[in-house]
Structure 1
Amino acid sequence: MVAANGDAMPTALRALSADEAAKLSALRRTKFIATGALVVCVAIFALAKSLQGRWPWLGFVAAFAEAATIGGLADWYAVVALFQRPLGLPIPHTAIIPSNQNRIADNLGRFIESNFLAPEPVRQKLKEVDFAALVADWLSDRQRAEGLSVFVGRLVPQMLQAIEGSGLRDFATRRMLERIGKVEVAPLVAELLTAFTEDRRHQRLLDEFTKIIGNFLSDEQALAVLREKIREELPSVFNLFRADAYLLKRIVASAATLLEDVRGDPDHPLRGEFDQFVHGFIDQLRHSPDYARRAEQLKRNFLARPELRGLAQDVWKSMRGFIEQDVASPNSMTRRHLTSLFVEVGQNLARDPDIRADMNAGFVVALASFVESQKSGVSGFISEQVKRWDLGQLTRLIEINIGRDLQYIRFNGMLIGGLAGLALYSLELLVLAN
């Protein structure tokens, strides 16, 4: 069926479902019984009225039947007037629902907006849902996590392209360099060295240094160069007696002995001197303005070098190439890590009630704000949909769902009317008897 404005009617209004067919059958049955009861009241009234002269007590029956007939007719009119014009007559204030379709549509939309989409009821309803638990259960399923990682993997190249095209990469590089530029280098280095010197771990440097010097003193080429330097410094007469070889031998032997003593003695005085040097250097870094100024100058010179920005670009290109190649691979390491990450997030979320509570609170705020911003649109949508419904179909839909209950008004009208008529007839007799 097509609505008056040419739009196709909703499927729910085109054809009756099995449930609606059953409701329509019950409605017709109730209508038939109500109409039959009205006809019975008319027949009883006519019969009682005709026999009232012979049997006066039938006056009570006639009064009941007469008032019941009037009440039944009045309620029949009221029920029919809701959906159509009684007997097709153009009586004012009839066919109420079809005549007020637009107003009903607008009021229905406003009613739903005000009562069902109000902020407090929406928040209370959202609080009943454990969104975080649903997310945790979903992510904990490895098959779903794999599907999510595949989906994210497909988006990675577009994300990287968007980052590069938007200038976000250059912005991030500048911000990173700016943040590094604000860091005070000297105190930071002092703290790092302090952590490094705990338990005298810096003494390992001295051990390595002694090994390097020992290797140097055992190298023939190095010794030859050292001997040549000694020959240059000694007078010529000493070289005639090969004093350079004697001095070199004594220097090497003394140095080797010293280095061996240092390596074998954890409390050697040279180690103490090294401790004092390191701690003094750390103290200068922490408190000396001159050291701080030099460190800041070195930092600025380093950050100002163009090679640093080129290095950042090279790192980005290498990382992007690796990621794009990996996500395209059937055995992508990135997707495997993403899958494990999603599963772990789901499991941790399921175990942590505090995080779930925070997430649920966030969901409530976000969804409630979304509903609040969109509820006027929902109201308008409902109103427009109701306005587009065909009048006949709309009337049929409402009548099918509430018409059977309305028919009981006719029964009630006949009963209440009959009792009222009976009471009035009795009162009339009492007044006339006096």
Structure 2
Amino acid sequence: MRVFATAMLGAMAATFLVARHFGAQGGAHGAWGYVLAFAEAAMVGGLADWFAVTALFRRPLGLPIPHTAIIPENKDRIADTMAAFLRENFLTPQVVARRLAGMNLAAAAGAWLSDPRDDNGGRVRAGAAELFAQVLESLDPERLGNQVRAGLVKQLGKLEVAPLLGQLVSAAIADKRHLPVIDSLVRWTGLTLEDNEDIVRDMINRRAGAVLRWTGLDERLANSVIDGLYKMLAEVMVDPEHPLRAKIEEGLAKLADDLGTDSDLRGKVEAMKADLLANPAVSNWWQGVWERLRTGLIERARKPGSGFGGQLTEALGELGATLRDDPALQDQINRYARRSLVGIATRYGDHIVRLVSETVKRWDARTVTDRIEGAVGRDLQFIRINGTLVGGLVGVAIHTFDTLL
């Protein structure tokens, strides 16, 4: 556009020379007189607008003419003016609140998230999964693992475990959830006895008298004891009302009560908890668990067929549908968004405009000139073109008026 405007000015200069040459032969009031007036006034208008446009960004012909190179010479003031304009017209709480009053941000977000189109869902899925993986990769695994462990240790240290365990046992007994535990305990006892029959027999033989061993009654006694134990365990297993079961339940109930009321038992449980938390093996175990969890999540997030992206997309779609169809939820979220954005404008508006001002001030004069000229330069060249044409038309009008007089 600059070349075109300059070429038009050159064309007017050539027209002026041609019209002046032929106008001198045919007289000033002939057709050539109008052409000459048009070209002469067009050159004046084009040169004037060229000077005006150029003076905004640089010194015309490099001459130190006052009030030229306006933008480079006043870039700091322009930066402050831009910042003040932005602050007063866009980042005031009143303007932000008024602009957001008619916007349903929650419904718009819900409609977008619930859009079933594959391309939309694919972008959301891929972007969210990759962001999740990058966040996990950027974290120092050892440092984060230690921080999480320290946080868990601190919270568990504040928590008194004994009363909580007592409540859990009481609740399990009340809901009959302890019965499978008793069955498993009886079954485990029977299997343990079966695997260690030789040890039991040896214990009975060693404690039997010499007469019993001499008569062989020790072996019969051992068989009787073992058979009796098997019979008792079988009865406990099949009889829900067996006295031994009642004893076990009574012991569990007493344990639950003691965990909540017995200070000595509570102290022992707390000491065991402290020893367990301070054990380095627990720390190493947690570090391994965290690293496997982190690595697995990263791999799953980036693996196309893992289903992670699909689950994420499904969850986002359900969230979007809820936002889209629930006016009460929309109203709550929109109110929260308005309050948040108005609060941001109130608290950080000055920081935002200061960022704009300081950024422009840090630019050198050439950068400021190039960026502003690149943004509006095309329209400024139209000013030169229009100035050339309008100047020519004004010249013709003046020449016509002079001829008529």
TM-score by length of 1: 0.59
1:151 to 127, 135, 141: 127
The CA deviation at 1:293 is 0.9
Structure 1 residues 362 and 169 mapped into 2: Cα distance closer, same or farther (>3 Å)?
farther
Q: Which residue of 2 aligns with 1:251?
A: 225
Q: d(CA) in 2 for partners of 1:177 and 1:305?
A: 11
| Structure with greater Cα Rg | 1
Structure 1 residues 292 and 354 mapped into 2: Cα distance closer, same or farther (>3 Å)?
farther
> Is the counterpart of residue 223 in structure 1 residue 190 in structure 2?
no
Equivalent positions of 1:184-333 (< 5 A) are 184-217=160-193, 219=194, 222-333=196-307
Q: d(CA) in 2 for partners of 1:354 and 1:362?
A: 13
* Contact 1:109 1:380 (8 Å CA) reproduced: no
* Contact 2:79 2:356 (8 Å CA) reproduced: no
Structure 1 residues 378 and 267 mapped into 2: Cα distance closer, same or farther (>3 Å)?
same
Q: d(CA) in 1 for partners of 2:339 and 2:87?
A: 18
* Contact 1:113 1:379 (8 Å CA) reproduced: no
The CA deviation at 1:303 is 0.8
* Contact 1:150 1:335 (8 Å CA) reproduced: yes
Residues 12-62 of structure 1, C-alpha deviations (whole Å, 9 max, x = no match): xxxxxxxxxxxxxxxxxxxxxxxxxxxxxxxxxxxxxxxxxxxxxxxxxxx
Residues 393-424 of structure 1, C-alpha deviations (whole Å, 9 max, x = no match): 59979x9xxxxxxxxxxxxxxxxxxxxxxxxx
* Contact 2:142 2:287 (8 Å CA) reproduced: no
* Contact 2:109 2:320 (8 Å CA) reproduced: yes
Q: What one-letter code is carried by the residue in structure 1 that aligns with 2:252?
A: V
User: In structure 2, the residue corresponding to 1:331 is in which secondary structure?
Assistant: helix
Report which stretch shifted further, 362-371 or 244-253. 362-371
The CA deviation at 1:150 is 0.5
- Measured on the aligned residues, the alpha-carbon RMSD in Å equals 4.1
* Contact 2:130 2:301 (8 Å CA) reproduced: yes
Structure 1 residues 375 and 181 mapped into 2: Cα distance closer, same or farther (>3 Å)?
same
2:333 to 342, 350, 359: 359
Equivalent positions of 1:12-31 (< 5 A) are none
The CA deviation at 1:110 is 6.2
Q: d(CA) in 1 for partners of 2:138 and 2:251?
A: 52
* Contact 1:112 1:379 (8 Å CA) reproduced: no
1:180 to 150, 156, 162: 156
* Contact 2:100 2:338 (8 Å CA) reproduced: yes
Structure 1 residues 153 and 267 mapped into 2: Cα distance closer, same or farther (>3 Å)?
same
Q: What one-letter code is carried by the residue in structure 2 that aligns with 1:153?
A: A
Identity, in percent, stands at 26
Q: d(CA) in 2 for partners of 1:296 and 1:105?
A: 64
Q: What one-letter code is carried by the residue in structure 2 that aligns with 1:284?
A: D
Equivalent positions of 1:119-158 (< 5 A) are 119-142=93-116, 143=118, 144-158=120-134
Q: What one-letter code is carried by the residue in structure 1 that aligns with 2:151?
A: R
Ranges in structure 2 where 5+ consecutive residues have no aligned partner: 3-48, 50-70, 360-367, 387-405
Q: d(CA) in 2 for partners of 1:108 and 1:199?
A: 71
Structure 1 residues 147 and 304 mapped into 2: Cα distance closer, same or farther (>3 Å)?
same
TM-score by length of 2: 0.62
Structure 1 residues 200 and 113 mapped into 2: Cα distance closer, same or farther (>3 Å)?
closer
User: In structure 2, the residue corresponding to 1:266 is in which secondary structure?
Assistant: coil
Q: d(CA) in 1 for partners of 2:356 and 2:121?
A: 34
User: In structure 1, the residue corresponding to 2:270 is in which secondary structure?
Assistant: helix
Count of matched residue pairs: 303
The CA deviation at 1:167 is 3.7
* Contact 2:79 2:358 (8 Å CA) reproduced: no
Q: d(CA) in 2 for partners of 1:149 and 1:339?
A: 6
Q: d(CA) in 1 for partners of 2:251 and 2:284?
A: 38
User: In structure 1, the residue corresponding to 2:175 is in which secondary structure?
Assistant: helix
Q: d(CA) in 2 for partners of 1:286 and 1:152?
A: 47
> Is the counterpart of residue 164 in structure 1 residue 140 in structure 2?
yes
Report which stretch shifted further, 326-335 or 236-245. 326-335
Q: What one-letter code is carried by the residue in structure 1 that aligns with 2:150?
A: R
Equivalent positions of 1:325-344 (< 5 A) are 325-344=299-318
User: In structure 2, the residue corresponding to 1:200 is in which secondary structure?
Assistant: coil
Structure 1 residues 315 and 112 mapped into 2: Cα distance closer, same or farther (>3 Å)?
closer
Q: d(CA) in 1 for partners of 2:175 and 2:88?
A: 70
Report which stretch shifted further, 311-320 or 104-113. 104-113
Structure 1 residues 232 and 151 mapped into 2: Cα distance closer, same or farther (>3 Å)?
same
Structure 1 residues 132 and 255 mapped into 2: Cα distance closer, same or farther (>3 Å)?
same
The CA deviation at 1:343 is 1.3
Q: d(CA) in 1 for partners of 2:201 and 2:82?
A: 106
The CA deviation at 1:188 is 1.5
